[in-house]
Amino acid sequence: MAGSGTARPQGITILAIISFVGGAFAVLGGLGALGFGAYLSAAAGIGGLFQILGIVALLLGIAEVAIGYGFWTLKPWAWSLALVVFVVGIIVEILRFLSWGGYGFTNILISIAISAIVVYYMNQASIRQAFGAPASGFPIVGNALDKYIPGNK
């Protein structure tokens, strides 16, 4: 395995399986939306939105399968990619809440909570070590931004 040669943590194994399954369903849903959008375009001329949503779902599904693979093999890039995806997901859910005026609040809150738990888990020292990630710092930039955090030098 990549990373530091340690065994894959059980939580990462679970997240890998969830990523594989969720990614597969997102890919299938994206392909279905593309097909349905093509049908609507031919039948009524309103399928463009479904095709755009299908492309987005397809790309997100492919990214999720890639994260699953990276988790399963403990690839260092998977740690960074997953953190970026989950943090962006939290931001998107907050924006969705603000723009929809509280509609679907429970679902938004659950999504934020799950993403926050995964971000917290991915930042545990043993998980960072398993992926060969730096002991502290942010994904992609490592410790480059640490000097901007109050209390760090």
Q: What is the DSSP string of the chain?
A: --TTSPPPPHHHHHHHHHHHHHHHHHHHHHHHHHHHHHHHHHHTS-THHHHHHHHHHHHHHHHHHHHHHHHHHT-HHHHHHHHHHHHHHHHHHHHHHHHHTTTTHHHHHHHHHHHHHHHHHHTSHHHHHHHT--SSSBTTTBTTTGGGSTT--
**What mean pLDDT is predicted for residues 13-19?**
94
Model pTM greater than 0.85? Answer: no
pLDDT digits (tens, 9 = 90+) for 61-114: 898 899 999 999 999 899 988 988 888 888 888 887 887 766 778 888 998 999
pLDDT(145) > 70: no
Q: Are 70 and 131 within 8 A, CB to CB?
A: no
- Residue 4 confidence (pLDDT): 47
Beta-bridged to residue 103, according to DSSP, are none
What would the mean pLDDT of 32-49 be, rounded to a whole number?
Answer: 70
Unique residue bearing structure tokens 């209390």: 151
